[in-house]
Amino acid sequence: MNPQFFSPYLLSVLRVMTGLLFLQHPTAKFFKIPHVAMFDNLQLFSLIGIAGMIELVGGILLVLGLFTRPVAFILAGEMAFAYFIGHAPRGFFPLTNGGEPAVLFCFIFLYLAAAGGGAWSIDAGRRKSADD
């Protein structure tokens, strides 16, 4: 069997797992699950609150595989901003400034923006029905 056979399915697994991991951020911010003390007095229209709204909507759309490319592109930009605003001022190296997750999310989202949602996505289903 050709190993490339699995690529569209593993792309979907990467998208879903990344989306689920990413959804921890807005659920912690808005629903206190899991509880993160830093978010206890979060203001909805603060920078972190607006980021949380983007993360919530984007994370759900990503898990579903709906509008994957534009959503992933927006989320990649958000993670780049998060890194340069929240982490880079604390030092050059992501290992020491706590920015590794932001960098990884940024580049995974950038890849998803280019590659799409994979075989198991609403986007793929919409394309298939449009072809019929």
Residue 2: per-residue pLDDT: 87
Residue 90: per-residue pLDDT: 97
Residue 130: per-residue pLDDT: 82
Count of alpha carbons within 13 angstroms of residue 24, beta-carbon side: 11
Residue 66: per-residue pLDDT: 98
Q: Please give the backbone phi and psi of residue 54, each rounded to the nearest 5 degrees, phi first.
A: -60, -45
Residue 132: per-residue pLDDT: 65
- Is residue 132 within 8 Å of 95, Cβ to Cβ? no
What token pair was written down for 22? 């990413």
Helices (H), the chain: 7-30, 47-64, 68-82, 94-97, 100-115, 122-131
pTM here is 0.94
Question: Which residues form the domain of 61?
Answer: 3-131
Residue 100: per-residue pLDDT: 98
Number of domains comprising the chain? 1
User: What residues contact 29, with CB distance under 8 A and at least 6 apart?
Assistant: 36, 39, 42, 48, 49, 52, 55
What burial class does residue 22 get, using C-beta atoms within 10 Å of its C-beta: 0-12 exposed, 13-18 middle, 19+ buried? buried
Kindly give the parts of the chain with pLDDT less than 50: none
